[in-house]
Amino acid sequence: MARTGVETSLTELAARIAAAADRARGSGRFVLGIAGPPGAGKSTLARGVRDELNIHAGARIAEVAPMDGFHLTNDRLREAGKLARKGEPDTFDIAGYLATLRRVRETAPGQQVPWPTYSRELHEPVPGGVVFDQHTIVVTEGNYLLLDTGEWAAVRPLLDQSWYLDVPRPIIEKRLVRRHIRGGRTAADAKTKVEHSDLSNARLVERTRFTADLVLRKSGRGYRID
């Protein structure tokens, strides 16, 4: 039997977060975490929710805090012999991610907190790529937010709400190959990277699906809640 789900829109999803943030109103900032496998569309969803929140509020109340900003630099990865495994759970500055997430969550709106972004052109993190200021809502997104092992396990308690963005494997594979090619790899290189690295990361992340508050799938122009 086909699984049935509730259809929802970006507007409704953002309204959920606005309401939850209102209920939770404390001295710090509200944190939404969006997890999911590589290429699921997490960054796209995070930007969509941010934009909806800001449009509805008529002010910049939300901003995206990408986990990808905490990629270790290529120099650091090369030194550690991990460059070929870039993207795996131990190729990020997890301590930095946790400390900055804690800081942005615990400080009051108005206190500036710089957050690094990641450049897909330079293939490097960009320090202070975004700065939290008056924002009251943080949308952090990345593969490993819901892992329950090692240092990553400390992320979950810092999320006021968590979503998992699900997507069929064949779609992820196609998207990732296309993106690696756009990033400068040959078609053969792109396929190897996807098969040997991205998909094993995807399998690791898929195990965290059931711990999210909400599981979403893209459906038509909106999303479906599973």
Which residues contact ligand ATP (rule: CB under 6 A)?
Answer: 36, 38-44, 68, 143, 175, 179, 218
Among the listed ranges 3-11, 40-48, 109-117, 194-202, the one in contact with Mg ion (CB under 5 A) is: 40-48
Among the listed ranges 7-15, 42-50, 186-194, 214-222, the one in contact with Mg ion (CB under 5 A) is: 42-50
Q: Based on CB atoms, which residue is closest to ligand ATP, 85 or 175?
A: 175
Q: Quick one: what does residue 48 bind among Mg ion, ligand ATP, none, with the CB cut-off 5 to 8 Å set by partner type?
A: none
The least distance separating ligand ATP from the CB of residue 167, rounded to whole angstroms, comes to 8
Q: Based on CB atoms, which residue is closest to ligand ATP, 28 or 48?
A: 48
143 binds Mg ion (CB under 5 A): no
Helix 169-182 and helix 199-206, axial crossing angle in degrees, nearest 10: 140
Q: Based on CB atoms, which residue is closest to Mg ion, 43 or 136?
A: 43
Q: Quick one: what does residue 191 bind among Mg ion, ligand ATP, none, with the CB cut-off 5 to 8 Å set by partner type?
A: none
The least distance separating ligand ATP from the CB of residue 202, rounded to whole angstroms, comes to 9
Beta-strand pair 62-66/30-35: unpaired
Q: Based on CB atoms, which residue is closest to ligand ATP, 179 or 185?
A: 179
Q: Based on CB atoms, which residue is closest to Mg ion, 43 or 208?
A: 43
140 binds Mg ion (CB under 5 A): no
Distance of CA 217 to the CA centre of its chain: 15
Q: Based on CB atoms, which residue is closest to Mg ion, 43 or 162?
A: 43
CA distance 122 to 24: 38
Among the listed ranges 15-23, 36-44, 119-127, 174-182, the one in contact with Mg ion (CB under 5 A) is: 36-44
- Which residues sit at the interface with Mg ion, rule CB under 5 A? 43
